[in-house]
Amino acid sequence: MTDIEDEAQPLVHEITEDETKGPQTLADQLRLRRSEIAEAHDVLLPLTGYEEYGVQVKHRLMDRTEVEKIGRRIMNETRDRGERNMRILIDVIINSTRGFYLRDDETDQVNEIRDDRHEGAHVMTWGMFANYLGWNPNGDEDNSRMALYWVFGGNEFMVGQYGILLNRWMSNTGLKVDEEFLGEALA
């Protein structure tokens, strides 16, 4: 055997040691999983209808009291159950949003969407994103619900589908939501 062959050949126990590193017991694996879930406070979700362009929206985890506050406010706005549910869904989407991003499929990098018409400001809200896409609200610039509807082309089913994606993540922050729905992995 040559010196080169001696150096290149790993020993059997070295191979098996490398393969067995990581959590050894079920308890260790569960602790690691719990840590992953507890550390997940935000997520990038692919924007329904804009997936082919790599548009993603960053959302933060909301707590129950925030959602209850939204629900109480909307209870005062309408008595229609269906409309109430849709408004709650929309307001959770709006209030959890933390910015809009583009994923480059080639590099897998995520970059902020910046609006050159507004000094390169990071597009952070649904109103800003709708405006970036050409929405002209005619004085209703602060109406985030209208902006969100406009982004989705007025299609309530698209809004609902996106809301389902967000709610699935919020109910289990360890879940790879788009793997379940789209067959892809979240960032």
**Residue 187's pLDDT is what?**
45
Low-confidence winner among 20-29, 71-80, 161-170 (lowest mean pLDDT): 20-29
For 98, list phi and psi in degrees, rounded to 5. Answer: -125, 15
Q: Which of 21, 18, 36 is nearest to 174 (CA)?
A: 36
pLDDT per residue over 78-130, tens digit each?
A: 999 999 999 999 999 999 999 999 998 888 899 999 999 989 999 999 999 99
**Residue 89's pLDDT is what?**
96
Instruction: Specify the DSSP element, H or E, that contains 45.
Output: strand 42-46
Q: Which two tokens stand for residue 58?
A: 């960053």
Does residue 103 contact residue 45 with C-beta atoms inside 8 Å?
Answer: no
Distance CA 89, CA 86 (A): 5
Confidence band of 77 (pLDDT split at 50, 70, 90): very high
Would you kindly state where each structural domain of the chain is located, as residue ranges? 42-59+96-182
Inter-CA distances, 96 with 26, 110, 124, Å: 34, 19, 11
Which pTM was predicted? 0.76
